[in-house]
Chains A and B, each alone.
Chain A
Amino acid sequence: MIFRRTNGEIAWSCDACGDEGVITGWEGSPTDLSSVDDSYADGAELVLLVARELYELIRGVLLLDDACELLVARAEGTASGVVLTGSTVAFEELVEYVASEANAETNRQRMRSLDEACTALEAALIEE
């Protein structure tokens, strides 16, 4: 659970492990995405549940555009995996970025994992 306080602080607590904390001084930092605009990525909204390992792999992709960056940053962890929410165009672009990273990857094992991530995302998109 996340609560944003009026003074800008973000209080959070984890439903799974009970850990909790307060985040301060985030505004204006590299992780502050509040001014990022993803309105160009139109299309119907999709909600996909992906495995935690798949999400960690996607989170490691170095180059993402604004819509994909927000898609990854908005992810919510659940007991059964990670929930990604975004437009169909944002998801399609995410597949393209993961594919691009796979093309540039020299480590064969990671390349294979990225290929599998593309397959999993595409399959999830088709199902939706």
Chain B
Amino acid sequence: MFTVRGTKKFLDRVGRPMTEPPTSSTVLGDWYANVLFWRPQVALFVNAATFVPVLMPLAPATGVVSRFPAGMAEVLGVLGVDPRFVEAEMTEMKSVVLAKTASRQVLGVMNEFTFMAEHTIGAGRSDPTDLVGLSVWLANTIVGPISKDDGYTPLGVLRRAVATTLPDH
């Protein structure tokens, strides 16, 4: 089981939140989600533990959270994450709970990702239809709250999480 913590914009389109959600059983924990009003609209998921971003088409909005594990697996695969780790996460993501956002830090990071993605698209450096490519690019950008030990990037934090879970990795 995992929890998706959505902004009001996201929850208005996807479903009602639970007041006191249970703790996610995955290694990566909760994911935050927001809606980007691009054409077509896009869902931005950001992992609360690593700040790894996953961009996906929003439509159909009611099914976006059930499609999310597959989207996450694709991005983690391109990022070079051990398939055993991805599979273990997918196994634990059979059911999902919606909740309200609870971390201002993650909200801020989602906002930074939105700005950076729109800037790189606006500058003609990224293809807005290549959401996996954009997610991977964002995972390699410097994010304010990430420490030097993790290389300041979500990918650095993710690699540490994988190495801790799979010591033989």
- Which of A's residues lie within 8 Å of B, judged by CB? 40, 43, 63, 88-89, 92, 95-97, 99-104, 115, 118-119, 122
B23-31, B107-115, B154-162: which lies at the interface = B107-115
Q: Tell me whether A99 and B111 are in contact (CB under 8 A).
A: yes
Verify if B22 is at the interface (C-beta below 8 Å from A). Answer: no
Verify if B95 is at the interface (C-beta below 8 Å from A). Answer: no
Bound-complex Cα distance A95 to B12 (A): 17
Closest 3 CB pairs of A and B: A99-B108, A103-B144, A100-B111
Q: Tell me whether A43 and B111 are in contact (CB under 8 A).
A: no
Bound-complex Cα distance A92 to B143 (A): 21
Q: Tell me whether A103 and B110 are in contact (CB under 8 A).
A: no
Asked whether A103 and B8 contact (CB < 8 A) given A40-B37, A118-B104, the answer is no
Instruction: Give 16 A-B contacts (CB < 8 Å), ordered by A residue.
Output: A43-B8, A43-B12, A63-B115, A89-B8, A92-B7, A92-B8, A95-B107, A96-B7, A96-B108, A96-B110, A101-B108, A102-B108, A103-B105, A104-B108, A119-B104, A122-B104
Q: Tell me whether B111 and A97 are in contact (CB under 8 A).
A: yes
B125 to chain A, nearest CB (A): 19
Bound-complex Cα distance A96 to B106 (A): 9
- Which of B's residues lie within 8 Å of A, judged by CB? 7-9, 12, 34, 37, 104-105, 107-112, 115, 143-145
B110 to chain A, nearest CB (A): 7
Q: Tell me whether A92 and B9 are in contact (CB under 8 A).
A: yes
Bound-complex Cα distance A63 to B144 (A): 15
Residue of B nearest to A101 (CB): B108
Bound-complex Cα distance A122 to B9 (A): 15
Q: Tell me whether A96 and B37 are in contact (CB under 8 A).
A: no
Q: Tell me whether B110 and A88 are in contact (CB under 8 A).
A: no
Partner of B105, one of A92, A95, A99: A99
Residue of B nearest to A89 (CB): B9
Contacts of A96 in B (CB 8 A): 7, 34, 107-108, 110-111
Q: A95-B104, A103-B109, A104-B112 are in contact. List 19 more A-B contacts (CB 8 A).
A: A43-B8, A43-B12, A88-B8, A92-B8, A92-B9, A96-B110, A97-B111, A99-B104, A99-B107, A99-B108, A100-B109, A100-B111, A100-B112, A102-B108, A103-B105, A103-B108, A103-B144, A118-B107, A122-B104
B120 to chain A, nearest CB (A): 16
Q: Tell me whether B111 and A102 are in contact (CB under 8 A).
A: no
Contacts of B7 in A (CB 8 A): 92, 96
A124 to chain B, nearest CB (A): 14
